[in-house]
Amino acid sequence: MEDNRIATHPILAWSRGTPVHVTYDGQQIPAYPQETVAMALYASGVKQYSTSSRFYHPRGMFCAIGKCSSCMMRVDGIPNTRTCVLQVRDGMEVETQHGDGRFPDVQAPMGGVAENNAEVLVIGGGPAGLEAALWAARAGARVTLLDQNPQLGGQLIKQTHKFFGSAKENAGTRGITIAKQLVQEVAATPAIEVYQGFTAFGWYQGAVCAADQQRAVLFHPRKVIVATGAAEKMLMFKNNDLPGVFGAGAAQTLMNVYGIRPGNRVLMVGAGNVGLIVSYQLMQAGIEVAAVIEGAPKVGGYLVHASKIARNGVHIMTRHTVLEAVGTDHVEAAIIAEVDDRWQPIPGTEERIACDTICLSAGLKPSTELLEQAKVDLAYTGELGGWVAKRNWAMRTSNPDLFAAGDASGVEEASTAMMEGKIAGLQAAYDLGYTGIPVEEQKETRRNLDDLRAGPFGAKICIGLKCVEVLE
């Protein structure tokens, strides 16, 4: 059987442990305990998880972080299971889901709903959520932290590159190292209770319902911080639903979290920081990058990231877009073309690029579902990735008990997400009367955040913030 697991890597090492077995459409597939179902299948060469509801097109993964519905399968009889975030268990039965999920033949062993009186509820265990939880707890609050992934850290756990930003705040340190430090601190903080693998899905008059595969819990928090991150955006082109077309972040999850090769030859679409960084990381994992294409006339990300891949021989093609993914069950090639000043493809410039993977890095959309349910004031702000919550300088939304931080409050990057999380966490604690951390600490963090945004790369963010930051 095919095995796409990476053995050696210049930055990472994986301790995989003893393999277990899952059954995939009646066939035994080896899997390692840390792996999720989708990852284990992918490692064994299974890249189609379902067929679409209307046209029965093959469906592969897209986001690999539990944000979309692309990897939904039947697991132990339960349809619509997001296999990218569900860890494997020996003997698990996984089936391709054909079309819409049928109601389970077996009833889920879901007992009643437990109740929890959380003081500060932080939803999302990425950079913003971890910092929010830590600082709220440091100030004196009791914190409950929910995270829907198998492990804490959000997207930091796949950031193998060294962070930019201020030396005061973690710059020069790899994201994976920052994640490890934050997660250790959370584990060492008794005032933080973690619900791992729990998806918060419902807002009920201030109460938040969350569940994993086994149980549901209704939280009655006094303050809520939504740090749910963002989801990768799809691009419109022919056959964009073909397995092998997925987010650049999904490729990063595969190779950097689970040590699985996303493909052998990748076309990267988008030369923002994510596209450039992931291209570099693909090469570090020994994968060929066919080219990086970008619709804009200039590279959108940092020039240093572009230079890093250019000096390894990767061709960056600005003013180019993808027209079509070629293949029947899986990507075999991409058709790209040059675009004019209005981003329209120029006839006659089409080019076929042989590749087995097309990675999209076309931006992210804030995950605002809970904020929408809670009916806080939102504003569509293109500069921040889409609909985001209006808030004051301390990340408080129009609901005084509800905060948003990190990419969920506007797509930026991990350093700023951590600072926003800290500001929101401290504010939630101050609101409840906890003063273990002086207000000056919070104010200084806000000043440092403004400094980071003061350059040309922060200009767009600042324009966006003008639309959503409410002055008091």
Q: List residues near another protein by CB under 8 A.
A: 8-11, 161-167, 171-174, 176-177, 271, 276, 283-284, 286, 297-299, 302-314, 316, 318, 451-458
Minimum distance from residue 86 beta carbon to another protein (Å): 30
The b-or-e profile of 210-221 (16+ CB within 10 A means b, else e) is bbbbebbbbbeb
Is 159 within 8 Å of 210 (Cβ atoms)? Answer: no
List strands edge to edge, sheet with 316-318: 245-247, 357-360, 265-269, 288-294, 316-318
Contacts of 445 (CB under 8 A, 6+ apart): 419, 422, 423
**Beta strands 288-294 and 316-318: pairing type?**
parallel
CB atoms under 10 Å from CB of 418, counted, come to 30
Tokens found for residue 162: 């060294």
Is the CB of 161 or the CB of 396 nearer to another protein? 161
Minimum distance from residue 292 beta carbon to another protein (Å): 8
Helix (H, G, I), strand (E, B) or coil at 203: strand
Burial (CB count <10 Å: 0-12, 13-18, 19+), residue 27: exposed
Tokens found for residue 443: 């104010």
Minimum distance from residue 157 beta carbon to another protein (Å): 14
- The Cα–Cα gap between 420 and 394 comes to 8
Is 308 within 8 Å of 327 (Cβ atoms)? Answer: no
Is the CB of 97 or the CB of 284 nearer to another protein? 284
Is the CB of 144 or the CB of 415 nearer to another protein? 415
Beta bridge partners of 324: 238, 335
Minimum distance from residue 317 beta carbon to another protein (Å): 9
Is the CB of 222 or the CB of 453 nearer to another protein? 453
| Total residues found in the chain within this entry | 472
Tokens found for residue 468: 């959503």
Contacts of 433 (CB under 8 A, 6+ apart): none
Is the CB of 8 or the CB of 205 nearer to another protein? 8
Closest CA to 43 of 331, 316, 273, 260: 260
CB atoms under 10 Å from CB of 23, counted, come to 14
Query: Dihedral angle at the C-alpha atoms of 304, 310, 311, 313, nearest 10 degrees?
Result: 160
Helix (H, G, I), strand (E, B) or coil at 459: helix
Minimum distance from residue 215 beta carbon to another protein (Å): 38
Is the CB of 26 or the CB of 313 nearer to another protein? 313
Is the CB of 157 or the CB of 276 nearer to another protein? 276
Is the CB of 3 or the CB of 451 nearer to another protein? 451
Minimum distance from residue 326 beta carbon to another protein (Å): 26
Is the CB of 7 or the CB of 188 nearer to another protein? 7
Minimum distance from residue 295 beta carbon to another protein (Å): 13
Minimum distance from residue 160 beta carbon to another protein (Å): 9
Minimum distance from residue 271 beta carbon to another protein (Å): 8
Is the CB of 393 or the CB of 457 nearer to another protein? 457
Minimum distance from residue 456 beta carbon to another protein (Å): 5
- The Cα–Cα gap between 141 and 316 comes to 49
Is 321 within 8 Å of 339 (Cβ atoms)? Answer: yes
Minimum distance from residue 333 beta carbon to another protein (Å): 23
Is the CB of 312 or the CB of 344 nearer to another protein? 312
